[in-house]
Structure 1
Amino acid sequence: MAALPMSESPETTAIGPADLLGLAASRSGDDRTRLMMGVVALCKARPPGAAAEPMLGDIFLKLISDAERDIRQTLAENLAEAAWAPHSLIELLMLDEIDIARPVIARSPLMRDEDLLRVLAEATLEHQIEVARRPRISARVADAVIEGGQPGPMAALADNASAEISEGGLQRMIEEARRMAALRVPLARHPRLNRRLAQTLFSLVGETLRQELQGRFADAGPALAPAIAAAIESAVDRPRPAMTVLLSPSSAGAGDRDEMDRRLVDKLATSGQLRAGFLIRAVREKQLGLFEHALASLSGHPLSQIRSAVRRPSADALFLACAGVGIDRAVFPTVLKEMRQLTAGLPGDEAPPDLSGRVLSPVEAGYGFRVLMEASPAATV
């Protein structure tokens, strides 16, 4: 039998099922090339009728039983979207080496949940990742990926926006994100994430993703507030012993206490331990001087301006100063309430800041504070 030149178009060469079966029995290089070209032509032709499908199944299974890798890969690529392909052939291809299995796992309309679950149970980690990436996988398959507990497949699942992941499945993935950092970004952006799950995830992600979550769930400020406060405070747990010593009541005068406050803040700033959470702790522990020194140090604004902001008839300047160092708008009302208990109601409630707008960046908040203080600097300090 003459070999088919590689340059000849398979669409213009008449190769019937009987010819392909005969070629499958040949071991010559030319016949294997012609066989592969014939299979490509067959895959691109109109799907066969029901009467021809048993013969095609026999042909394809014969090819797979002794075909070389390049023929198996060509079959996989050309049968990946064929709804008429023999299911037994798809089962063989989906468990083949990953480069052959990948197009079938990703696109075959013949793969059922049972097939995907079999791949998860029997195939390699790379196969499992492809299952997790498959569009529109069911909640049953998604749960099996999560149950496997492997970082690669779980990260691929988290990044699969079309997967039917249940709320319980997302909750389990967020719990796994405590130890698998790769899950945090895709989970924070997953379309099925809801307000309750966002609150759990909030403390695990960085500032950029926190702002994304706040923008996405802008109407959930009160619900996110505890998570925001916890995230801020968790960054400053270590300096608590030193702070506790210096926050104890003493007989020192006002000038001595102010100097002690300044020294503590300088020490924490020098060691890199001064964080926004320190401000929250200071105001909760009724230490106004520490709050003012720490806010001045963190923001870079003069201490005199910070003290002026605390005592203004409006909380607008204090809000901007706090926003500039990372205290979230959802947490600020709590800080303000506790602050007013230390300052006889200051800052006042005249024209209070609008907390319903977009999240300010630290640069925007710092600039707004400077502009505001330059426009109306006078205040009782």
Structure 2
Amino acid sequence: MVLVQLVPTARPEAGSPSAGDLLALARDASPDARQRLLLGVAALCDASPPSGELSPVLGEIFLTLARQAEREVRKALSEKLAHADWAPVALVNVLALDEIEIARPVLTSSPILQDDDLLRIMIEASIEHQIAIARRPQISGRVADAVIERGEPAVLTALATNRTADLSVDSVRRLVEHSRRIAALRAPLTRHPRLTEALAEQMYHWVGTALRQSITARFNVDDRVLGDAVYDAVEGVLRQARPDENAQDDPDRDEMERRLIDKLQSAGQLRAGFLIRAIREKRLSLFVHGLAALGGFAADDVREALAAPTPEALYYACAAVNIDRAVFPTLLAELRKLNQSLPGEGGEPIWLRGALSSNSAARAFRVLIADNHREFKAAV
């Protein structure tokens, strides 16, 4: 088989096949001749673009030959037609739905593809096709909004890196909201030219230290004020009446503290240090929900560990969220003061055995709680 390599030249007409060459290829029914004919016709049209709309007959010839061509030829054709404004619409759409290596050149560059074409391809094709569309220069607000509506993390990230996309303020706001759960969005959004100061302040609460520095440098934001803002609600809770005036088992208060923990976690501000602080402020319910959220545990399982005859399960839960084992004995003593001397003092002090990775500790906690459940069922 002979593959034709398409190499741009300073004078396209010099590489164009003659009418006699194309006629000879047209009379040859072999697959190789069909592929050479396809590329030859494309080269001829590129050298002398058809005036007006491409003849329907010529378009049908292109489409028929392309369907018969092998993968490498279709790929070469896609690269050849990527910037051609004379290319047959049907052919470009067929190539755009081909495998991604073939489709990418026309998806990212072809002037033939209109919004309706791109929206249809987003529905029918793969994630890789959607990423190529999201990276397309000057995509319209209509297409950008469709990308945001679908909410695919990799596609959203590609859109966030596209500085030429027609994004409205509301579109950027929706991307910022997505960046709460999609960390890959944060870096490109902090550098995006359409990010406003208000949206940057919103993002500040859930990005890392390096991106916070980028935001403060770009918008001259007061780092100290923003860093403290998320804790305002926490301080409001901790400054309220002491536990002896508001019972720990108050369901309304428990729900309020659970929502507070959810808010801190979604803002990326929930840390192990907060749990220690909650106990010092005698907020046992806040500790329970915070430990459950940080460790990915059920709150009832944390309560079970607090009511256990030994502190083993509680130690594993605390180790899973990176509470230092040297701190645990003091934390345990404070917890017992708030929790009717529970967990009990049975068993050996396992925190003296040595360090434990957070993953291992989380697994040990779940296994121990599951064993307790099985023992309870057996007893019943």
Q: TM-score range by the shorter chain?
A: 0.5 to 0.7
Q: What does residue 225 of structure 1 align with? A: 225
Matched, 1:130 2:167: no
Check whether the contact 1:214–1:221 (CA below 8 A) recurs between aligned residues: yes
Output the amino acid matched with 1:152: A
- Answer yes or no: is 1:201 the counterpart of 2:189: no
Q: CA deviation at 1:221?
A: 3.4
Identity of aligned residues (%): 45
Q: Is structure 2 residue 277 aligned with structure 1 residue 240?
A: yes
Q: How far does residue 89 in structure 1 lie from its aligned partner after superposition? A: 1.4
1:121 to 113, 120, 123: 123
Look up the SS of the partner of 2:195 in the other structure: coil
Name the residue aligned to 2:86. Answer: 84
The question of whether the paired residues in 2 share the 8 Å contact of 1:159 and 1:186 is answered with yes
Give structure 1 stretches of 5+ with no counterpart: 247-266, 273-381
User: How far apart, in 2, do the equivalents of 1:197 and 1:174 lie?
Assistant: 7
Work out the CA distance in 1 between the residues paired with 2:196 and 2:115.
26
In the TM superposition, what are the counterparts of 1:349-360 in structure 2 within 5 Å?
none
For 1:7 and 1:151, how far apart are their aligned partners in 2?
Answer: 36
Decide whether aligned partners of structure 1 residues 13 and 66 sit closer, same or farther in structure 2, where only a CA change above 3 A counts.
Answer: same
Change (3 A) 1:221 1:8: closer
Matches within 5 A, 1:1-381: 12=14, 15=17, 20=22, 23=25, 26-32=28-34, 34-50=36-52, 53-218=55-220, 220-221=221-222, 225-226=225-226, 229-230=229-230, 234-235=270-271, 236-244=273-281, 271=327
- Separation in 2 of the partners of 1:206 and 1:64? 50
Alpha-carbon distance in structure 2 between the residues aligned to 1:24 and 1:91: 25
Q: 1:4 to 1:14 in 2, by over 3 A?
A: farther
- 8 Å CA contact 2:85–2:112 kept in 1: the answer is yes
Q: What is the Cα deviation at residue 227 of structure 1?
A: 5.3
Preserved CA contact (<8 Å) 1:158 1:183? yes
- Work out whether residues 199 and 227 of structure 1, in 8 Å CA contact, stay in contact via their aligned partners in 2: no
Encode CA deviations 1:179-210: one digit per residue, 9 max, x unaligned: 21111111111111001111110011111110
What is the CA RMSD across the aligned residues, in angstroms? 3.5
**Equivalents in 2 of 1:102, 1:16: separation in Å?**
30
Q: Which moved more, 1:122-131 or 1:3-12?
A: 3-12
Aligned-pair distance for 1:109? Answer: 1.0
Contact 1:129 1:152 in 2 (8 A): yes
Determine the structure 2 residue equivalent to 1:337.
none
- Cα distance in 1 for partners of 2:171, 2:53 equals 44
Q: Check 1:11–1:198 CA distance in 2 against 1; reply closer, same or farther (3 A cut).
A: same
Residue 12 (structure 1) shift: 4.9
Find the residue that maps to 1:214 and give its secondary structure. helix
**Aligned residues of 2:31 and 2:69 also touching (Cα < 8 A):** no
Deviation of the 1:121 alpha carbon? 1.0
For these two proteins, the number of residue pairs brought into alignment is 248
Could you tell me which amino acid in structure 2 is paired with residue 243 of structure 1?
A: R
Distance 1:8 1:53 in 2: 24
Local SS of the residue matching 1:237: helix
More contact order relative to length (CA 8 Å, sep ≥ 6)? 1
Distance change (3 Å), C-alpha of 1:198 and 1:125: same
CA distance in 2, matches of 1:143, 1:30: 44
Change (3 A) 1:37 1:11: farther
Question: Quick one: structure 1 residues 40 and 184, their matched pair in 2 at CA, closer, same or farther if it must change by over 3 Å?
Answer: same
| Change in 2 beyond 3 A, CA 1:78/1:98 | same
Instruction: State the Cα deviation string for residues 304-359 of structure 1 (Å, max 9, x = none).
Output: xxxxxxxxxxxxxxxxxxxxxxxxxxxxxxxxxxxxxxxxxxxxxxxxxxxxxxxx
Give the whole-Å Cα distance in 1 for the aligned partners of 2:54 and 2:210: 58
1:176 and 1:184 map into 2 onto residues whose CA distance is 9
Q: Against the structure 1 CA distance between its residues 197 and 97, is the aligned structure 2 distance closer, same or farther, given a 3 Å change threshold? A: same
TM-score normalised according to structure 1 size? 0.57
Aligned amino acid, residue 195 of structure 2: L
- How far 1:57 sits from its partner (Å)? 1.3
Using the TM superposition, give the Cα deviation of residue 233 of structure 1 relative to its aligned residue in structure 2, in angstroms.
Answer: 6.3
Q: Is the 8 A contact 1:93 1:100 kept in 2?
A: yes
Deviation at 1:127, TM superposition (A): 0.4
- Contact 1:43–1:79 (CA under 8 A) maintained in structure 2: no
Q: Tell me if the contact between 2:138 and 2:165 (Cα under 8 Å) persists in the aligned partners.
A: yes
For 2:188 and 2:282, the matched residues in 1 are separated by: 43
Relative to structure 1, is the Cα distance of residues 271 and 82 closer, same or farther in structure 2, using a 3 angstrom cutoff? farther
State the SS of the aligned residue for 1:205. Answer: coil
Aligned-partner residue type, residue 63 of structure 2 = L
- The 8 Å contact of residues 94 and 101 in structure 1, kept in 2 or not, is answered as yes
Tell me, in whole angstroms, the C-alpha distance in 2 between the residues paired with 1:51 and 1:115.
18
